[in-house]
Amino acid sequence: MRLLDKYILWEYIKVLLIILFSFSVLFLVVDISDRLPRLLSKDGEANDIIMYFLLRIPYLVLLSSPVMVLLAGLFLMNNLSKYNESVAIRSAGISILRMVSPLLWFGLIFSILIMFVGDLVLPKAEDYRNYIYKEKIKHQKVEDKKMRSQIHYFGSDNNLYYIGFFDGYRNDLKTIDITTFHNETGEITKKITATQASWINDEWVFQDCYIRTFDKGILIGMEHYDEKIIKEIDVSPIDFIKSAKSPMSMNFFELKQYIERLKKVGEKHSKELVELNLKVSFPFANLIILLFSIPLVSTSSRSRGRGLIFGIGLLVCFLYLSALRICQSLGYNEVLSPMLAAWLPNAVFSTLGIFFVVKAEV
């Protein structure tokens, strides 16, 4: 690594660490001021309350990382321009893009690091934080929602399922209706009804079961069984259980498996799909937002435009986060596809960032 690269990278990292520490302290102070009176009213122990606030740091760092990255870049570029270091560098025949290339590589590595923090550290921190709040402070029991009623879903082999009631504690189903339709005509070919089914040895055992077969909508046969194992239901009890965890408390693969469970039982999963895509797209905001600090280096040390560019950079960061939240809401409500909701702000602002970098180079 060239001496210039080391200098720029080290100066940037120093500023970033100062901003990271300042933001963490600021956010903790605000969070403590807002939540501490309510926590004290629950008679929580001091060590639980302290741990509750400390476990919030990964979320605060992840959420504010684009702002911190941008501020560090703006301060660094401002100093390079203020003390004419950027002029000296460019006079030596080094382009702006080459000069800031260490920052771009750092932005990419930092984005990947934030992605791992969001996937490995944040879920565990939020999960344990919720555990402390509900069980140790509020003295409530945290568990999955194991009692559900009126479940409708479309399964494999054109089977339409209706489950009147699911008891997740006993792994029992009540009032089962499985209707099979013809693939082309849409006519009913078979209907299975049962008053109850139990999960025994990894199989559903039906009680008081009727199997009716149809031809062109006309009943042609009916069989009754006091007890029968039927393979048609392609879900297990865990698929009916709705997780009490939020998407933030799950890592990428846990959330993906949870979405598959929701698909099996016909539950809406647009919100979870958006969150799944955001786990990948949001960390790269750090690299994209960093691009907007680069034009500051091309301004003169006496230029009044430096302050304007500084303000515009912060405005861009605010607009990015606002656009992300808007697209996130549109994805939740299925106005945008989950992938588009998560990646559209990145696509738009990366295009703008590249445009400003190219313009600064001219």
Taking only the tens place, the pLDDT of each residue in 223-240 is 898 888 877 677 778 777
| Position 304 confidence tier, pLDDT thresholds 50, 70, 90 | low
Residue 343, pLDDT score: 93
Taking only the tens place, the pLDDT of each residue in 76-104 is 877 777 767 766 777 777 777 777 788 88
- The residue-averaged pLDDT of 288-301 equals 71
| Position 329 confidence tier, pLDDT thresholds 50, 70, 90 | very high
Taking only the tens place, the pLDDT of each residue in 29-63 is 888 888 888 777 777 778 888 888 888 888 888 88
Residue 178 has pLDDT above 80, yes or no: yes
Residue 244, pLDDT score: 63
| Position 2 confidence tier, pLDDT thresholds 50, 70, 90 | confident
Residue 142 has pLDDT above 60, yes or no: no
Please state the domain extents for the chain.
Answer: 3-139+269-361, 147-239
| Position 278 confidence tier, pLDDT thresholds 50, 70, 90 | very high
What's phi and psi for 213, nearest 5 deg?
-115, 145
